[in-house]
Amino acid sequence: MSVEQRSGVRRRTLRAAKIVYGDYRYIVDCVVRDTSSGGMRIRCDHAREIPQDFFVFDPTEQSLRRAEVMWRRENELGLQFTAEPIYIHDSHDPRHARFRFM
């Protein structure tokens, strides 16, 4: 029996998102399966090849959020957020401009 380690309530979802890494050069499509205030579970192809930490771009919220992989299972990743969201329309970082059109 596993012990629940989430700090917040988990909300089931099924929505598209993007994994962003390599100084914003690499973008991989993924699906958010559930989310909480502290992290999320995502599904993506080639999950084993995704780096240990990266950004998740949520097109619904128009935000980037740094996350760290807490566990990997076949094509799923359990993520913990490691920073507050960056809202791309409020950001002055030119690397974020491309996300405004996704």
Range 9-35 average pLDDT: 93
Question: Which tokens in the block code for residue 86?
Answer: 């960056």
**Assigned CATH topology for domain 9-97:** Thrombin, subunit H (2.40.10)
Q: Which residue has the higher pLDDT, 2 or 7?
A: 7
Domain extent listing, the chain: 9-97
Q: What is the pLDDT of residue 2?
A: 46
8 pLDDT band (50/70/90 cuts)?
low
Q: How many angstroms separate the CA atoms of 75 and 45, rounded?
A: 6
1 pLDDT band (50/70/90 cuts)?
very low
Q: How many angstroms separate the CA atoms of 101 and 52, rounded?
A: 26
Q: Which residue has the higher pLDDT, 37 or 9?
A: 37
This prediction has a pTM of 0.86
Q: What is the pLDDT of residue 3?
A: 45
For 40-98, the pLDDT digits (tens) are: 999 999 898 999 999 999 999 999 999 999 999 999 999 999 999 999 999 999 999 99
Q: What is the pLDDT of residue 13?
A: 87
Listed residue (78, 92, 83, 96) closest to 41, CA to CA: 78
